[in-house]
Structure 1
Amino acid sequence: MHPLSDNDPLRGQSGAPAVFHARGLGKTYHTGAVDVRALHDVDLDIVRGEFIVLLGASGSGKSTLLNILGGLDVPSEGDVWFADHRLTGASEADLTAYRREHVGFVFQFYNLIPSLTVRENVALVTDIAPDPMPIDEAIAMVGLTPRQHHFPAQLSGGEQQRVAIARAIVKRPEVLLCDEPTGALDYQTGKMVLEVIARINAELGTTAVVITHNAAIAAMADRVVYLGDGTIQRVERNAHRVSPSELSW
């Protein structure tokens, strides 16, 4: 493990404040007599406002890395910081507060409450957020104002995913962590969801980290982190990000 130089692709834009600072991250899962190493010696900086894609096949370690950054899991070795908060060794209470106050999560499956409307699903989060945005604003950002009084069963898959995104951003998180947000969606609907995530990144300055196994999505990122066998294989910068509407797969 070595310090990163200013022009190392593992580091974000030189001079920009780091949102995440990880060094020597490792994660081993113990299942009976078998140890499974999911991450090994991962070094990475992510700076404020970046759009990062974590790209890799199933089992490459990308979900484990995202879960550690989000405080849903803890590393077996190494160190990880969010801004000036050390996540390594933090108590469960501190990690809960970190997730509540700083992180928005979007998963492949939407996890909406079926008995609540779009508006009510989004409003739930505002009760625990210290400085939530207006519910109308969050719903408008994902283009669902006309559907705000509908229930999840009355929505398409893409609309349900956009509700999940509105729920994630209404608390004004500093980072948006997305685990295969288009994995359960068709081509056109997936691109629509990516448009919403790109808009949040651009207009709110929210740092976005998106997991995918779809290499085409990499073109919309500032940097692409390629993972394999639990390690970072390489990191590439995109000189010119493309909009989701330009993607094809």
Structure 2
Amino acid sequence: MASTIHAAARPEVVFQVRSVSKTYQSGDILVVALRSVELELSAGEFVVFLGPSGSGKSTLLNILGGLDTPTSGDVRFRDHWLSQADDAGLTRFRREHVGFVFQFYNLIPSLTALENVTLVTEIAEHPMDPQEALRLVGLTERQNHFPSQLSGGEQQRVAIARAIAKNPDILLCDEPTGALDFPTAKLVLDVLAHINEELHTLVAVITHNTAIAAMADRVIRLRSGEIVEITHNERKARTEELVW
């Protein structure tokens, strides 16, 4: 009897970036932030964008998140043409599909951790329970504390819970450990890895910290607005193995 061999299903490509460039005018000077970037990102990946300040990684992340648009080229998220969307379309894309985590937590001081997370779920189409989001980041027992009563690492984990509470397809993280000490940064990275594994969320982290690259599926290195190297990690490091 002939046997049938099934090829392993390839992850769904959710982002397609084609010949994307971004320029800014600064007085009489034209600043080139991105140069003809070509990239695909797949569902469930953990991707690290690595590069020095001014390499274009934040600009690329902002375009992927619908916070900015390219000067030329095309960006597609599934059936959404982000490069052609108007402000209302980009707002809808961000609300329905993207969670953001920044270096600074941007929590509302007068609201508890739970209330900060709940606020986002009120505008999401298919949110998760806010208490479940806080459980995923290990803050169930701190949910009724205000930001001033939380450590920096705990505040960043509230920010992550807030980002994932609307059940985003993508979690975009801009230097999420930049303001944290080493032990606290590892706790935050562990939360991001957990979210990626448990919820199969596409996680993209931009950083200048080369050590973080070891925990990614793919590492995308940028320099002077260009992708200069893409590498795959055969084995993803656990956060407790990271050293910097």
TM-score, length-scaled by structure 2: 0.96
Task: Name structure 2 gaps, 5 residues minimum.
Answer: 1-7
**AA paired with 2:138?**
G
Decide whether aligned partners of structure 1 residues 72 and 49 sit closer, same or farther in structure 2, where only a CA change above 3 A counts. Answer: same
**Which structure has the greater CA radius of gyration?**
2
Distance in 1, matches of 2:129 and 2:110, equals 22
Of the three residues 71, 81, 88, the one matched with 1:93 is 88
Q: Spell out the pairing of 1:124-139 with structure 2 (5 A cutoff).
A: 124-139=119-134
| 1:19 correspondence with 2:18 | no
Q: Spell out the pairing of 1:184-223 with structure 2 (5 A cutoff).
A: 184-223=179-218
Deviation at 1:16, TM superposition (A): 2.1
**AA paired with 2:118?**
A
Task: Name structure 1 gaps, 5 residues minimum.
Answer: 1-12
Deviation at 1:100, TM superposition (A): 0.3
Between the two proteins, the alignment pairs up a number of residues equal to 237
**AA paired with 2:233?**
N
TM-score, length-scaled by structure 1: 0.94
CA offsets 1:7-46 (integer angstroms, 9 cap, x no match):
xxxxxx9832111100101000112211100000100000
| 1:66 correspondence with 2:44 | no
**AA paired with 2:95?**
R
**AA paired with 2:110?**
S
Decide whether aligned partners of structure 1 residues 14 and 24 sit closer, same or farther in structure 2, where only a CA change above 3 A counts. Answer: farther
Deviation at 1:194, TM superposition (A): 0.2
CA RMSD of aligned residues (A): 1.0
Of the three residues 138, 141, 144, the one matched with 2:136 is 141
**AA paired with 1:211?**
I
**AA paired with 1:140?**
R
State the partner residue of 2:224. Answer: 229
Deviation at 1:122, TM superposition (A): 0.3
Deviation at 1:137, TM superposition (A): 0.5
Of the three residues 96, 120, 124, the one matched with 2:115 is 120
Of the three residues 41, 48, 72, the one matched with 2:43 is 48
Deviation at 1:136, TM superposition (A): 1.0
Distance in 1, matches of 2:15 and 2:166, equals 19
**AA paired with 2:151?**
S
SS in 1 for 2:84: coil
Identity %: 62
Deviation at 1:245, TM superposition (A): 1.2
Distance in 2, matches of 1:244 and 1:29, equals 37
Deviation at 1:222, TM superposition (A): 0.3
| 1:34 correspondence with 2:29 | yes
